Amino acid sequence: MLQNIYTVFTVVSMIIIVIFMAYFVTSIIGKKTNFYFQGRSVKVLERTALTAQLTIMAIQVLDKVYILAVQSKNIEVIDTLDYIEWIEYKKNHEVCEGEELAPFIKRSLDIIKKPLTKKNAKDSCKKGDKNRNHERK
């Protein structure tokens, strides 16, 4: 009886040790990988998924920051900033703890929707011309 309890305790202890070791080794590899790729000229600063198909990304390329709208097979450049402007923007528009997110998200989405809406309106006009002609008949 005592031998069975000892065996179960040993197995559970070994599993916990292996999980912790895997976690620490993964974190060390991640840090080393980031250090290795640090000299690269492209860096993802932020990524926010709005829907399953639409993601907003901020990417740094050398000293420029590009705000991108990424859909399944489409990438649209929303805005381009200098890296210094990006840092100032982040400092001034940081969402504080306790602040409501709804107004912040609404402002951000309004900025994002403007370029996307213009493009979608052009596409829908092209597609809609056939439908309008069909409705007139």
Structure confidence by residue, pLDDT tens digits, 66-111: 888 888 888 888 888 888 888 887 777 665 555 555 566 666 667 7
CB 54 within 8 A of CB 70: yes
CB under 8 Å, gap of 24 or more: what pairs does 80-87 form? 86/45, 86/58, 86/60
The pLDDT tens digits of the residues spanning 104-116 come to 666 666 776 666 5
The CA-CA-CA angle for residues 38, 39, 40, to 5°, reads 90
Over range 57-71, report the average pLDDT.
Answer: 86
pLDDT surpasses 60 at 130? no
Whole-angstrom distance, CA of residue 58 vs CA of residue 35? 20
Q: Model confidence at 129, in pLDDT bands (50, 70, 90)?
A: very low
Whole-angstrom distance, CA of residue 135 vs CA of residue 137? 6
Residue 108's Cβ-count burial label (10 Å; 0-12, 13-18, 19+) is: middle
Higher pLDDT, 53 or 96: 53
Whole-angstrom distance, CA of residue 85 vs CA of residue 103? 22
Q: What pLDDT sits at residue 74?
A: 86
The pLDDT tens digits of the residues spanning 1-42 come to 788 889 999 999 999 999 999 999 998 887 777 666 666 677
The token pair that represents 62 in the structure block: 């050398």
Q: Model confidence at 137, in pLDDT bands (50, 70, 90)?
A: very low
Q: What pLDDT sits at residue 133?
A: 41
Give 94's strand partners: none
